């Protein structure tokens, strides 16, 4: 008997090999099993894809499988096919696909380790050559691999020296194995893995009834729309049938409750459930509702897991202990072998796209997996992506709508504030004055002590320039507080909401204090030394940080170009906004939530608690605060600058803006009291902002689709982005032109367009120059044919070429 396997992490000729199956495991071995096999002089992990009596080994003498690593196959046929799809669709080697899918602990590998064979005191007296001496001394400290030893000198010389040392028995080599080896030791604590070969215990049947009752008590009555959605999906769960649904439900319409009812349905059919969320850290409220209903049947996978925890959660899924798995995009590959339902919450979110290695989109893979596993998949969103909406419109997905908020809550009233009417009042120096007040005198030298600005107060700010602001009735208009675009109507609304004891979310999708530091004399801006972007000034620690590569350095005292003292801070982020608001509303309790403040474990939940208990009046934050926040006393949401996402060089910028604004607006008025939303913008007539004001997704998507069709963008075309990166700029641009030529020569002009080569919008990140070629096609097969023609092109050393199918980030 023979087995065909994929060697994990190996690409090229050796990725698919055939091995003999020892009699001891012949009865048991099946596709999906994880095994240890010999490869040259090493032992490596492989996944069995085929077992049979007459497999063709391609004329190579077959060696035998060494060991079966789990009694039960790690992947069922649906997941095996999903991984084949992953490799094929995203044009990646299959060995790479398995490597990126498996937890690192699942990769068992042997390495040849060298160690000393004699006592150090004896070795010290031997007359070695200088290189031999270096090797012996390194090995006296700890065993090393050949690769590690080769750093000690020229490769062939090191090999020769090792050969002599081994021949004279001064050192020896042994095989050492790393990775989880014995399946029996791998269960989560308290799990008996002894009877793993037997059928899965129907863990859920004793809980089935209880599950229903629990789900019932959390929210006894479904709205008629919710009930209709549940009723539509349920038959597919019961009949074990693939069917894709798009659950388009406005904010606060109770999508979570629909998911929970459906999960209960799948559990009582004795099947498992996979719930994907964009970011597990931002999904605490959804996770909480599931845990409240299903208790220990819920297993949560998250990106902060240790490698051991990740492996334990895989084992819990595999042995059927985890009946419901909630996780981020990588959870799509967890070995849930009895899938009865897949839910993709916030399906429009770009976090479903993997942006490194194999650039897959979990939302799309979820539909593929559901088909392979014969179960329904529910994609939920208040603002479905253009792609999913088009699938719904063409009846590829069945559209389920929740048009009303639960408990007849009103939508918040949304007003647009036209920032152009405040522009004349935008001063230049005020930011400096603010800093002067906040910094210790000793550190003042780095900022010019410019003109001081009179303190801004709502009363004062109204005496500003006369304008005809019609967007918000009855409100005056005035100078932007402290150089920040805090318009008078916004400040007034904040004050009123504070007085009425309502809570406010202030949304600004930009971190830091100043966007950049600029020399007022020569105009130069401090940029990151590794990236072509300016560095952001963070007041805390007085640091400059690069938001692309993470580099940071203390803010310099003088201009690098002309040597002048007195760099000026320009622009604003959440950090500065908090300072400005604190001065405007000295008695308000203000907190900030962005990735700078919620990095520490527990920081986010502490802020969430503060909002829940009413200890925070104003919460300033980035898009983090637009996701999943469900607080009943939030009665005002202020969007400081809606244009930030609109002005990105990306064909999805209007869609993202609409999504962000809708999500932000959806945070207001989720309780008894009605909510109010203020959107400040320089583009008040843009269709995405107008549609967000009216909370009219249908109108937005109609207009968006017209533009996409006209310009041949998804969903009316397939796209691929070929990225070319490297440290040597001329190599990168040469390579980009060659690839663009290859693509253009193959592409059929009537269906396929090749755009570029062009430098990426961010031309350099982490010292690497970046170019790109964009390919768009009305025909998926044409697109693939063109890419396939360019794929074999070998870039010169140091230049990396990668293909991003269905790209999400265009930067």
Which residue ranges make up the site for Zn ion (CB under 5 A)? 519, 521-522, 528, 530-531, 546, 548-549, 551, 559, 561-562, 564
Compute CA distances 110 → 4, 114, 177, 179, 585, whole Å: 21, 13, 4, 9, 63
β-pairing verdict for 768-777 and 718-726: antiparallel
Taking the C-alpha atoms of residue 276 and residue 301, their distance in angstroms, rounded to an integer, is 10
Least distance (Å) from Zn ion to the CB of residue 564? 5
* Between 242 and 548, CB nearer to Zn ion: 548
| Minimum CB–partner distance for residue 531 and Zn ion (Å) | 3
- With contact defined as beta carbons under 8 Å apart, do 477 and 463 qualify? no
Cα–Cα dist 351/366, whole Å: 14
Is the CB of 78 or the CB of 446 nearer to Zn ion? 446
Minimum CB separation of residue 447 from Zn ion in Å reads 14
The two three-digit tokens of residue 783, written as one number: 């697109």
Smaller CB separation from Zn ion, 444 or 562: 562
Residue 97 near residue 87 (C-beta atoms within 8 A): yes
DSSP bridge partners of 696: none
Residue 115 vs 558, nearer CB to Zn ion = 558
DSSP string, 555-570: PPSB-TTT--B--EEE
* Residue closer to Zn ion (CB basis): 549 or 791: 549
Pick between residue 446 and residue 620 the one whose CB is nearest to Zn ion: 446
CB of 603 to Zn ion, least distance (A): 25
Rounded Cα gap, residues 405 and 415, in angstroms = 20
Q: In the complex, what is the shortest distance from the CB of residue 566 to Zn ion, in angstroms, rounded to a whole number?
A: 9
Cβ atoms of 257 and 286 within 8 Å: the answer is no
Q: Based on CB atoms, which residue is closest to Zn ion, 269 or 760?
A: 760
Nearer Cβ to Zn ion (476/520): 520
Burial class (CB in 10 A: 0-12, 13-18, 19+), 474: exposed
What pairing do the DSSP bridges indicate for beta strands 2-7 and 42-52? Answer: antiparallel
As a whole number of angstroms, the distance between CA 560 and CA 517 comes to 11
Residue number, 516 or 629, with CB nearest to Zn ion:
516
Q: Which of 166, 429 has the CB closer to Zn ion?
A: 429
CB of 292 to Zn ion, least distance (A): 43
Ramachandran class of 407: left when φ > 0, alpha when ψ lies in -120 to 50, beta otherwise: left
Tokens 């907190």 -> residue? 591
CA atoms within 13 A of residue 806's CA, in its CB half-sphere: 22
Q: Minimal distance in Å, beta carbon 765 to Zn ion?
A: 7
Say how far apart CA 424 and CA 44 lie, in whole Å: 68
Q: In what order do the strands lie in the sheet with 799-805?
A: 752-765, 768-777, 718-726, 799-805
SS (H, E, C) 334-403: CCCCCEEEEEECCCCCHHHECCCCCCCEHHHHHHHHHHHHCCEEEEEECCCCHHHHHHHHCCCCEEEEEC
- Taking the complex as a whole, the smallest distance from the CB of residue 546 to Zn ion amounts, in Å, to 3
Min dist. Cβ of residue 548 to Zn ion (A): 5
Instruction: Output phi, psi for 482, to 5 deg.
Output: 50, 30
- Return the number of the residue (92 or 519) whose C-beta is nearest Zn ion: 519
Q: What angle do CA 405, 407, 411 make, to 5 degrees?
A: 40
Question: Shortest gap between Cβ of 510 and Zn ion (angstroms)?
Answer: 16
How far lies 567's CA from each of 522, 526, 564, in Å? 10, 9, 8
Count of residues in the chain: 811
Q: Which residues contact 306 (CB under 8 A, 6 or more apart)?
A: none
- Complex with Zn ion: residue 284 or 763, whichever CB lies closer: 763
Q: Smallest distance, Å, CB 565 to Zn ion?
A: 10
C-beta of residue 244 within 8 angstroms of C-beta of residue 342? no
> Among residues 218, 298, 211, 296, which one has the least CA distance to residue 256?
218
Among residues 391, 386, 334, 403, the alpha carbon closest in space to that of 367 is found at 391
**Minimum CB distance to Zn ion smaller for 130 or for 541:** 541
Distance in Å, CB of 242 to Zn ion, minimum: 45
Provide, rounded to whole angstroms, the least separation between the CB of residue 561 and Zn ion. 4
Which CB sits closer to Zn ion, 294 or 769? 769
Closest distance to Zn ion from the beta carbon of 560 (Å): 8
Shortest distance, position 559 Cβ to Zn ion, whole Å:
3
Beta bridge partners of 728: none
Q: How far apart are the C-alpha atoms of 542 and 553, rounded to whole Å?
A: 9
- Cβ atoms of 333 and 83 within 8 Å: the answer is yes
Question: C-beta of 554: minimal distance to Zn ion in Å?
Answer: 16
Would you say 638 or 732 has its CB closer to Zn ion? 732
C-alpha to C-alpha distances, 282 to 302, 595, 611, nearest whole angstrom: 11, 12, 15
Cβ closest to Zn ion, residue 567 vs residue 774: 567
Query: Which of 101, 158, 106, 167 is CA-nearest to residue 129?
Result: 158
């Amino acid at each position: 008997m023979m087995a065909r396997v994929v060697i994990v992490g190996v690409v090229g000729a050796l990725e698919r090999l055939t091995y003999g199956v020892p009699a001891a495991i012949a009865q048991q071995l099946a596709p999906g099993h994880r095994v240890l096999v010999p490869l040259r002089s090493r032992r490596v992990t492989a996944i069995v894809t085929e077992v049979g009596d007459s497999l063709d080994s391609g004329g190579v003498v077959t060696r035998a499988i060494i060991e079966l690593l789990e009694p039960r196959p790690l992947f069922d046929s649906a997941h095996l096919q999903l991984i084949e799809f992953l490799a094929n669709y995203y044009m990646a080697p299959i060995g790479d696909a398995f490597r990126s899918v498996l937890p690192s602990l699942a990769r068992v590998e042997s390495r040849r380790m060298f160690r000393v064979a004699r006592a150090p005191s004896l070795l010290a007296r031997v007359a070695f050559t200088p290189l031999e001496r270096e090797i012996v001394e390194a090995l006296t400290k700890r065993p090393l691999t050949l690769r590690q030893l080769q750093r000690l000198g020229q490769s062939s010389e090191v090999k020769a020296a090792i050969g002599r040392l081994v021949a004279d028995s001064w050192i020896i080599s042994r095989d050492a194995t790393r990775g989880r080896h014995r399946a029996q030791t791998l269960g989560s604590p308290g799990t008996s893995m002894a009877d793993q070969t037997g059928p899965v215990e129907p863990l859920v049947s004793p809980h089935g009834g209880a599950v229903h009752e629990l789900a019932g008590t959390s929210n006894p009555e479904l709205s008629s729309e919710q009930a209709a959605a549940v009723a539509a999906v349920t038959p597919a769960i019961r009949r074990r049938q693939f069917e894709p649904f798009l659950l388009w439900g406005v904010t606060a319409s109770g999508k979570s409750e629909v998911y929970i009812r459906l999960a209960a349905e799948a559990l009582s059919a004795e099947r498992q459930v996979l719930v994907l969320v964009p970011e597990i850290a931002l999904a605490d409220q959804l996770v909480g509702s599931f845990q409240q209903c299903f208790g220990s049947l819920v297993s949560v996978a998250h990106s902060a897991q240790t490698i051991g925890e990740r492996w334990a959660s895989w084992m819990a899924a595999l042995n059927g202990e985890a009946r419901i798995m909630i996780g981020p995009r990588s959870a799509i590959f967890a070995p849930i072998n009895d899938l009865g339902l897949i839910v993709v919450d916030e399906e429009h979110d770009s976090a479903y796209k993997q942006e490194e290695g194999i650039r897959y989109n979990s939302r799309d893979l979820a539909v593929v997996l559901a088909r392979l596993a014969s179960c329904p998949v529910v994609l939920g969103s208040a603002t479905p992506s253009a792609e999913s909406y088009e699938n719904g419109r063409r009846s590829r997905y069945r559209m389920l709508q929740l048009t009303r908020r639960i408990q007849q809550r009103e939508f918040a009233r949304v007003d647009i504030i036209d920032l152009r009417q405040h522009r004349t009042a935008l001063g230049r120096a005020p930011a400096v004055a603010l800093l002067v007040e906040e910094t210790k005198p000793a550190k003042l030298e780095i900022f010019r002590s410019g003109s001081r600005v009179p303190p801004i107060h709502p009363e004062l700010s109204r005496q500003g320039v006369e304008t005809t602001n019609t967007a918000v009735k009855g409100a005056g208009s005035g100078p932007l507080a402290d150089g920040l675009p805090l318009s008078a109507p916004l400040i007034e609304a904040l004050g009123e909401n504070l007085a009425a004891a309502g809570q406010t979310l202030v949304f600004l999708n930009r971190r830091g204090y100043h966007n950049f530091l600029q020399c007022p004399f020569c105009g130069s801006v401090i940029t990151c030394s590794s990236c072509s972007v300016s560095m952001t000034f963070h007041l805390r620690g007085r640091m400059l940080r690069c938001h692309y590569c993470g580099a940071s350095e203390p803010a310099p005292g003088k201009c690098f170009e002309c040597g002048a003292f007195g760099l000026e801070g320009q622009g604003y982020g959440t950090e500065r906004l908090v300072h400005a608001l604190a001065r405007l509303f000295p008695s308000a309790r203000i907190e900030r939530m962005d990735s700078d403040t919620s990095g520490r474990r527990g920081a986010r939940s502490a802020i969430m608690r503060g909002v829940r208990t009413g200890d925070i009046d104003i919460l300033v934050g980035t898009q983090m605060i637009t996701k999943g926040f469900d607080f009943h006393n939030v009665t005002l949401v202020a969007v400081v600058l809606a244009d930030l996402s609109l002005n990105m060089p990306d064909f999805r910028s209007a869609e993202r803006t609409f999504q962000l604004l809708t999500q932000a607006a959806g945070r207001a008025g989720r309780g008894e009291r009605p909510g109010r939303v203020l959107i400040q913008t320089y583009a008040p007539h843009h269709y995405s902002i107008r549609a967000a004001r009216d909370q009219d997704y249908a109108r937005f998507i109609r207009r968006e689709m017209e533009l996409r069709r006209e310009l041949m963008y998804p969903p009316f075309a397939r796209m691929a982005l070929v990225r070319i990166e490297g440290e040597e700029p001329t190599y990168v641009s040469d390579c980009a032109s060659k690839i663009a030529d290859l693509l253009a020569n193959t592409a059929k002009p009537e269906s396929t367009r090749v755009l570029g080569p062009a430098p990426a919008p961010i031309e350099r990140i982490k010292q690497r120059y970046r170019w790109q070629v964009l390919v768009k096609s009305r025909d998926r097969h044409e697109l693939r044919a063109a890419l396939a023609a360019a794929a074999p092109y070998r870039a010169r050393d140091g230049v990396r070429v990668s293909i991003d199918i269905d790209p999400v980030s265009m930067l």
